[in-house]
Amino acid sequence: MTEFTDLGLSPTTLQAVADTGYTTATPIQAQAIPVALAGQDVLGIAQTGTGKTAAFTLPLIDKLQSGRAKARMPRALVIAPTRELADQVASSFEKYAKGTKLSWALLIGGVSFGDQEKKLDRGVDVLIATPGRLLDHFERGKLLMTGVQFLVVDEADRMLDMGFIPDIERIFKMTPPKKQTLFFSATMPPEITRLTKQFLKDPVRIEVAKPATTNANITQLLVKVPSSDPKAKRLALRALVEKANIETGIVFCNRKTEVDIVAKSLKVHGFDAAPIHGDLDQSQRTKTLADFRSGALKILVASDVAARGLDIPAVSHVFNYDVPHHADDYVHRIGRTGRAGRTGVTYMLVTPADDKGFDKVIKLIGMTPDEEKLELDYSNAVTVKREGDRDRKRGARDRDKDRDRSERPGGRGRNRGRASEEAAAETPAEAEVVETPEAAPVEERPARERKPRREREPRPTAPASTIEAAERPARPERTERAERPERAERQDRPERPERPVRGVQPIRDRDDDDRRVVGFGNDVPAFLARPPRGK
């Protein structure tokens, strides 16, 4: 076991570490801290929960104590894939740098630009940011990268999964070539290997655990659900949560919509649960995570946004409600428990539709978890589809059309969509099968006597033309107009001779010397007049 006092850290930093209660360094810390203090690039490969944050935070604090930051020119830059992980790194800096005069700023989405720009204008030593918000400040002209001496990339393989590699390449190119780079990743896909070869200079490779291996302190259990129906899965999850002695637990789902549904289901059945995923407001995400860390919240239902990097030591149980799409995510999910030498228990719900994803997980971890059997009656939690159901439902909808809306329970329409299914699933288990009371007999009303129709008088059978003529008002007779005198004068006028076409001379006798040019009459210009023949 390596003590922090043997790593070459300054007395101020050692005092800050001692105040947190840690005395022994983890393997990644024991190997990475001396290399970082020596000024060499580090390529750290370690699974989550091994203390990577302190492995780069402590040497940065030691090396940045001398010097002073300039406005909009940070001296150290830390890039994290998610807001939660960036906030956690900022908390580590605040904890370990309390005995120094170093300043830091957190640039993440969901927070106003104004407050962040004020800190940048004053000057910060350490800048902790997500790639998107960092580039936004740079493009606004509020940030300069020319003063960066240390660059840290945390959870690089997660950056790859989230599509941030082009942004990381751009950030590398915006920073000075002469800088120290600390690069950490749980796995080394080919794209990450290419990135390290391009931007790291003779890095010291530190690999403290085999990639994609699970912690030996974690007990992994398997729960087989006979149906892929979401109701059956939620029933099995509630049974597991009730059975386990949970201090704090995390439930992982593949989709954000499923996170909300599962959290609502647990809450309705009396469990203290809350959702967290990328579509929630940042203030709500921060509050939920703070409540979970403090113990005020018992169960956190999360998407994979919270699967990596979150340092919550007291997590006792992890539930994989969905088999992850990528087998690597299984390792990171269950890595939320069994941290810092503690033990943990994980469950994975597997349905018949999960065979393909489950096989990938088994192949990756190299073992098959022990099966945990639940004695549950899934008949009331499974929607059974039979032949003719569609026709019966269609007939029921047609009958509903003829009823008055006020007679329907709740006055709901027929197109309730998925929300109605979810609402039915979120009721307590004993209330999921509801007996419908028989409809009260309808009293027969006596038929009303209809009055005989009054016979209408026959309409006149006169021709339509006669009727119209009778109804149409009389018009005054037209009087013939008197003949206009000018029309009579026009008739007495002699016919005009036809005018020859302009530009064409009429055919005359050749001996006729009185030639004219058509269009000028007798007033022919001198330059157009021809001399008579023979003259």
CATH number of the domain where residue 202 is located = 3.40.50.300
Instruction: State whether 153 and 42 are in the same domain.
Output: yes
Q: Is the per-residue pLDDT at 430 higher than 50?
A: no
Instruction: State whether 222 and 371 are in the same domain.
Output: yes
Instruction: State whether 203 and 248 are in the same domain.
Output: no
Q: Which of 174, 207, 240 is the last residue of a domain?
A: 207
Q: Which of 342, 357, 381 is the last residue of a domain?
A: 381
Mean pLDDT along residues 275-299: 88
Instruction: State whether 84 and 226 are in the same domain.
Output: no
For the chain, the residue count is 535
Instruction: State whether 177 and 50 are in the same domain.
Output: yes
CA atoms in the 13 A half-sphere facing the CB of 304: 18
Instruction: State whether 14 and 96 are in the same domain.
Output: yes
User: If pLDDT is split at 50, 70 and 90, which confidence band does 377 have?
Assistant: confident
Query: Is the separation of the CB atoms in 226 and 378 below 8 Å?
Result: yes
Q: Write phi, then psi, for 514 (nearest 5 degrees).
A: -85, 75
Mean pLDDT along residues 432-439: 41
Residue 6 inside a domain? The answer is yes
Mean pLDDT along residues 447-471: 54
Q: Which of 329, 349, 381 is the last residue of a domain?
A: 381
User: If pLDDT is split at 50, 70 and 90, which confidence band does 415 have?
Assistant: very low
Output the average pLDDT for the chain: 78
Number of folded domains that form the chain: 2
Counting beta carbons within 10 angstroms of the beta carbon of residue 274, is it exposed (0 to 12), middle (13 to 18) or buried (19 or more)?
buried
Q: Which residues contact 357 (CB under 8 A, 6 or more apart)?
A: 323, 324, 325, 327
The residue that leads in pLDDT, 335 or 231, is 231
User: If pLDDT is split at 50, 70 and 90, which confidence band does 467 have?
Assistant: very low
Q: For the ranges 33-37, 329-333, 356-360, 518-522, which has the lowest average pLDDT?
A: 518-522
Give the range of the structural domain holding residue 375, as residue numbers without chain letter: 218-381
Please report, for residues 1, 214, 348, 356, 457, the alpha-carbon distance to residue 371 in angstroms, rounded to integers and kept in the order given: 36, 18, 10, 18, 91
Beta bridge partners of 185: 45
Instruction: State whether 176 and 50 are in the same domain.
Output: yes
Question: What's residue 21's pLDDT?
Answer: 84
Mean pLDDT along residues 418-434: 43
Alpha-carbon distance of 107 to 84, in angstroms, equals 12
Q: Which secondary structure element, helix H or strand E, spans residue 26, and what is its range?
A: none
Instruction: State whether 321 and 354 are in the same domain.
Output: yes
Instruction: State whether 182 and 245 are in the same domain.
Output: no
Q: Is the per-residue pLDDT at 323 higher than 80?
A: yes
User: If pLDDT is split at 50, 70 and 90, which confidence band does 534 have?
Assistant: low
The residue that leads in pLDDT, 416 or 240, is 240
Q: For the ranges 311-325, 413-427, 438-452, 519-533, which has the lowest average pLDDT?
A: 413-427
The residue that leads in pLDDT, 488 or 146, is 146
Q: For the ranges 169-173, 328-332, 446-450, 503-507, which has the lowest average pLDDT?
A: 503-507
Q: Is the per-residue pLDDT at 305 higher than 70?
A: no
Mean pLDDT along residues 436-460: 54
Q: Report which residue type is found at 320.
A: N
Q: For the ranges 167-181, 233-247, 329-343, 353-367, which has the lowest average pLDDT?
A: 329-343
Q: Give the per-residue SS3 of 280-318.
A: CCHHHHHHHHHHHHHCCCCEEEECHHHCCCCCCCCCCEE
Instruction: State whether 259 and 123 are in the same domain.
Output: no
Question: Is the four-CA dihedral 243, 245, 247, 248 of positive or negative sign?
Answer: negative
Residue 504 inside a domain? The answer is no
Q: Is the per-residue pLDDT at 366 higher than 90?
A: no
What the block records as the tokens of 514 is 């009185």
Instruction: State whether 197 and 302 are in the same domain.
Output: no
Angle between helices 165-174 and 131-139 (to 10 degrees): 50
Tens digits of residue pLDDT in 78-94: 999 988 889 889 999 99
Residue 355 inside a domain? The answer is yes
Q: Which residues contact 84 (CB under 8 A, 6 or more apart)?
A: 285, 289, 305, 306, 309, 310
Residue 427 inside a domain? The answer is no
Q: For the ranges 18-27, 107-116, 433-442, 448-457, which has the lowest average pLDDT?
A: 433-442
Instruction: State whether 238 and 119 are in the same domain.
Output: no
The residue that leads in pLDDT, 294 or 436, is 294
Tens digits of residue pLDDT in 471-504: 455 555 554 554 555 554 455 555 565 555 554 4
Alpha-carbon distance of 267 to 254, in angstroms, equals 19
Percent of the chain with pLDDT over 70: 68
